[in-house]
Structure 1
Amino acid sequence: MLELRPNCECCDVDLPPSATNAMICTYECTWCAACVEHCLDGVCPNCGGNLQPRPVRPAATLLTAPASTVRVFQAGLHRD
């Protein structure tokens, strides 16, 4: 089951389980679509893999399969 991390590792914007702009790599590194396009050039800086849209977990299943609350943020990745 995916962790559904709560934020973008680049800009720290919130990415709730219902976010349609969340992107992940095969290791579940989590980024917003804007950072993937403008800062990361479509490549995960942690593993070098490609990034894909993160699936949305239906709200009804969050009671038994909650999203992660652990925030990961890598200061210095974001380009203005």
Structure 2
Amino acid sequence: MLEMRPDCERCGADLPAEVPGAFICSFECTFCTTCAEDLDDVCPNCGGELMDRPTRAKKLHDKFPPSTERKFIPSTGSG
């Protein structure tokens, strides 16, 4: 079952599991529409193709909860 990660790991945008607009690779790296377009639909982590992530109906969240672990790490701007 997909983790349904809650955010874009490039910009931190919220990506609720029940809403379209998320893109994933085969390792479930997750990106928003804007970032996926900027990346030419290629995952920067593994080089795999970014595809539309399916949605999960909100009524199923209790039985099959999406992940709450955020992957975005803000840049500190130093260095």
Tell me the TM-score normalised to structure 2 length. Answer: 0.88
Q: Determine the C-alpha separation between the residues in 1 that align with 2:34 and 2:22.
A: 9
Alignment-derived partner of residue 16 in structure 2: 16
Alignment-derived partner of residue 61 in structure 2: 62
Alignment-derived partner of residue 41 in structure 2: 42
SS at match of 1:63: coil
Tell me the TM-score normalised to structure 1 length. Answer: 0.87
The unaligned stretches of length 5 or more in structure 2 are none
Q: Determine the C-alpha separation between the residues in 2 that align with 1:41 and 1:29.
A: 15
* Bigger-Rg structure (1/2): 2
The number of residues matched between the two structures is: 75
The unaligned stretches of length 5 or more in structure 1 are none
SS at match of 2:44: coil
Q: Per the alignment, do residues 34 and 56 of structure 1 end up closer, same or farther by CA in structure 2, a change over 3 Å counting? A: same
Matched, 1:52 2:51: yes
Give the letter aligned to residue 2 of structure 2.
L
Task: Give how far 1:31 is off.
Answer: 0.2
